[in-house]
Amino acid sequence: MPSVYIKTYGCQMNERDSEAVAAQLVAKGYTLAQSPDAADVVLLNTCSVRDLAEQKALNKMKNVIGTARSERRDQVVGFLGCMAQSRGQELIDRLPDVDLVLGTQKFHRAAEYLDAILAGRRQKVVDVDVEQGSEAAIREHLLHGAAKKSVTAFVSIMQGCNQHCTFCIVPSTRGEERSRSIPGIVAECRELAGQGVSEITLLGQIVTSFGKRDLPVKDGKSAFVQLLEAVHEIDGLERIRFTSPHPKGYGDDLVQAYEHLPKLCESAHIPVQSGSDRLLKLMHRGYTRERFLGIISKLRRARPSIGLSTDIIVGFPGETEEDFEQTLSLVREVEFDQAYIFKYSPRRDTPAASMQDQLPTEVKEDRNARLLEAVNTLAASRYEALVGSQMQILVEGPSRKNPARMTGRSRCNKIVLFDGSDRHRGRLMDVRITRAGSFTLYGDPAIVNL
Ligand code: 5AD
């Protein structure tokens, strides 16, 4: 049976899509290869959010093709996902050895197309069409992964985004918002819990808009909160997370969900993008700095130990030093536990790409460095402040860097390492934090668990 190597670029949604493709292929008898060299099929699941991500995947593909050619190996190669969607046939025009270009609504057709190509029935396949119902097609899981059973799982609840932020390519790579049904999602989560998964992360490009058009607000609760409540009912499931929300989706119903749903982990990744109202408006974000800060204080009031992270763009067209300082001051005010900083990258067919006053690379780099410094300093002191505290972690497996250590995650989404063994995998355990490293905590389970 053919072997397949899949490499994923970008966000958790992409990881989830790759997992579903892998599971689909494994069910058909394919084996999973650990490197592209030994594989019959190489698939790159791509990201388009910034130019750098696209360049990485293009270079990787050139390498893969070059190696296969020099070793005279016959290999089927394909692009999947966001860049496949936005560039389509252009990818084959550029790299004629590419056999398959599969868009974001077509992941579930991967096995069928690969079978046809491998059997010589088709030569090249480009399929980037819209497909009705594709939001419900990402269902298969690879729970027995490379080594052992999975403790955590991602569940895709919706696809697409209608927000149209002026910098963002996602509406064109992922399409219009389409949500799955609550019963369909609950059935998938229940099955996962039945197979030993303790923690589920609900995924979508804008999860707070889940079901907006299909499900009316009920007892003051949005469709997304109704979904959280339904998933919360599942026996055996211990923890629920979600990503990515939009700040404007943090109504009081969602803040209250943190109070009355104990399985909902006290952690939130809320992309702010900028601290300047002027820029938030140019970005078409739909909230002000004040509204964002209001959400943060409500969440902290609801769950004081909540872990908060964000995404920020520096160097958006026309960003002045003053705008940037507003972002710096917001970061200082909120004290995020983690912030992912992106230098603005013009994306094709987005309004911001043709705005006046695109900033030079040096300015973007300078602001990136200054913001990073502020974020890291603040985060370091927040991590340091946790030393001495006790927290619950879910043990996920051996640490990648040092397999003698086990790694777990706290409810507030901190990675916690401890000296343990495989018998701890999958356990919820209490640890005392003994030391803080860079975005990592070290814990000692000895005193609290025997
Ligand atoms: N340039 C830089 N960063 C971007 N992001 C989205 N589009 C762009 C862009 N054109 C960032 C945003 C988003 C994260 C996933 O990527 O901060 O939240």
Is any atom of ligand 1 closer than 6 Å to the C-beta of 274?
A: no
Is any atom of ligand 1 closer than 6 Å to the C-beta of 247?
A: no
* 8 Å CB contact between 413 and 241: yes
Distance (Å) of CA 240 to CA 162, 203, 227, 440: 25, 11, 11, 21
Phi, psi of 434 (to 5 degrees): -105, -25
Residue located via tokens 């969440």:
299
pLDDT tens for each residue of 31-73 = 999 999 989 999 999 999 999 999 999 999 999 999 999 998 8
Instruction: Please confirm whether the linkage preceding 179 is cis (ω < 30° from 0).
Output: no
> 4 CA distance to ligand 1 centroid (A)?
30
Q: Which of 9, 13, 50, 364 to mutate to test the pocket of ligand 1 (most atoms within 8 A of CB)?
A: 50
Q: Which atom of ligand 1 is nearest to the CA of 347?
A: 10
Q: Which atom of ligand 1 is nearest to the CA of 352?
A: 10
- Classify residue 446 by its DSSP letter: T
Q: What average pLDDT score do residues 284-300 get?
A: 98
Q: What average pLDDT score do residues 68-84 get?
A: 95
What three-state secondary structure class fits 122? coil
Is any atom of ligand 1 closer than 6 Å to the C-beta of 285?
A: no
Contacts for 220-226: CB closer than 8 Å, 24+ residues apart: 220/252, 220/253, 221/253, 222/249, 222/251, 222/253, 222/254, 223/179, 223/182, 224/249, 224/254, 225/253, 225/254, 225/257, 226/182
Q: Which one, of 29, 19, 152, lies nearest residue 6 by Cα?
A: 19
Is any atom of ligand 1 closer than 6 Å to the C-beta of 246?
A: no
Instruction: Please confirm whether the linkage preceding 244 is cis (ω < 30° from 0).
Output: yes
Whether residue 268 is predicted with pLDDT greater than 70 in this model: the reply is yes
> 212 CA distance to ligand 1 centroid (A)?
24
pLDDT category of residue 371 using cuts at 50, 70 and 90 = very high
- Classify residue 211 by its DSSP letter: T
Region class of 36: left (phi > 0), else alpha (psi between -120 and 50), else beta: alpha
Q: Which atom of ligand 1 is nearest to the CA of 169?
A: 7
Percent of the chain whose predicted confidence (pLDDT) is above 70: 98
Is any atom of ligand 1 closer than 6 Å to the C-beta of 168?
A: yes
Q: Which of 14, 54, 168 to mutate to test the pocket of ligand 1 (most atoms within 8 A of CB)?
A: 168
Query: Bridge-partner residues for 218, per DSSP?
Result: 221
Total residue count of the chain as it appears in this document: 450
What three-state secondary structure class fits 134? helix
Is any atom of ligand 1 closer than 6 Å to the C-beta of 171?
A: no
* Angle, helix 223-232 to helix 252-260, in steps of 10 degrees: 10
Q: Which atom of ligand 1 is nearest to the CA of 350?
A: 10
Q: Which one, of 53, 48, 5, 2, lies nearest residue 28 by Cα?
A: 2
Q: Which atom of ligand 1 is nearest to the CA of 271?
A: 18
How far, in Å, CA of 417 to CA of 414, rounded? 10
Per the prediction, the chain carries an average pLDDT of 96
Strands 267-269 and 307-314: parallel
Give, in degrees to the nearest 5, the angle at Cα 432 between 386 and 428.
110
> 130 CA distance to ligand 1 centroid (A)?
24
pTM of structure: 0.96
Q: Which atom of ligand 1 is nearest to the CA of 311?
A: 17
Q: Which atom of ligand 1 is nearest to the CA of 346?
A: 10
Which residue has the CA at smallest separation from atom 13 of ligand 1? Answer: 311
| Beta carbons within 8 Å of 385's beta carbon, 6+ residues apart | none
Tokens of 383: 């991590």
pLDDT category of residue 404 using cuts at 50, 70 and 90 = confident
Tokens of 164: 């149209």
- Classify residue 358 by its DSSP letter: P
Is any atom of ligand 1 closer than 6 Å to the C-beta of 342?
A: yes
Q: What average pLDDT score do residues 230-246 get?
A: 98
How far, in Å, CA of 251 to CA of 302, rounded? 13
Q: What average pLDDT score do residues 275-299 get?
A: 98
C-beta atoms surrounding 69 within 10 Å: 11
Is any atom of ligand 1 closer than 6 Å to the C-beta of 313?
A: yes
Q: What average pLDDT score do residues 195-224 get?
A: 97
* Angle, helix 289-302 to helix 252-260, in steps of 10 degrees: 20
Is any atom of ligand 1 closer than 6 Å to the C-beta of 347?
A: yes
How far, in Å, CA of 187 to CA of 231, rounded? 9
Distance (Å) of CA 306 to CA 50, 130, 201: 30, 39, 16
* 8 Å CB contact between 151 and 395: yes
> 116 CA distance to ligand 1 centroid (A)?
36
How far, in Å, CA of 319 to CA of 315, rounded? 6
Is any atom of ligand 1 closer than 6 Å to the C-beta of 5?
A: no
Q: What average pLDDT score do residues 243-270 get?
A: 98
Tell the burial category of 15 from Cβ atoms under 10 Å away from its Cβ (0-12, 13-18, 19+).
middle
Q: Which of 48, 49, 368 to mutate to test the pocket of ligand 1 (most atoms within 8 A of CB)?
A: 49
Q: Which atom of ligand 1 is nearest to the CA of 167?
A: 10
Spatial strand order in the sheet of 152-156? 152-156, 199-203, 239-243
Q: Which atom of ligand 1 is nearest to the CA of 312?
A: 17
Is any atom of ligand 1 closer than 6 Å to the C-beta of 307?
A: no
Whether residue 403 is predicted with pLDDT greater than 70 in this model: the reply is yes
Whether residue 383 is predicted with pLDDT greater than 60 in this model: the reply is yes
Tokens of 235: 């026996």
Query: Bridge-partner residues for 137, per DSSP?
Result: none
Q: Which of 244, 311, 347, 365 to mutate to test the pocket of ligand 1 (most atoms within 8 A of CB)?
A: 311
pLDDT tens for each residue of 134-175 = 999 988 998 765 456 789 999 999 999 999 999 999 999 999
Q: Which one, of 63, 77, 72, lies nearest residue 6 by Cα?
A: 77
How far, in Å, CA of 114 to CA of 411, rounded? 40
pLDDT at 146 (0 to 100): 47
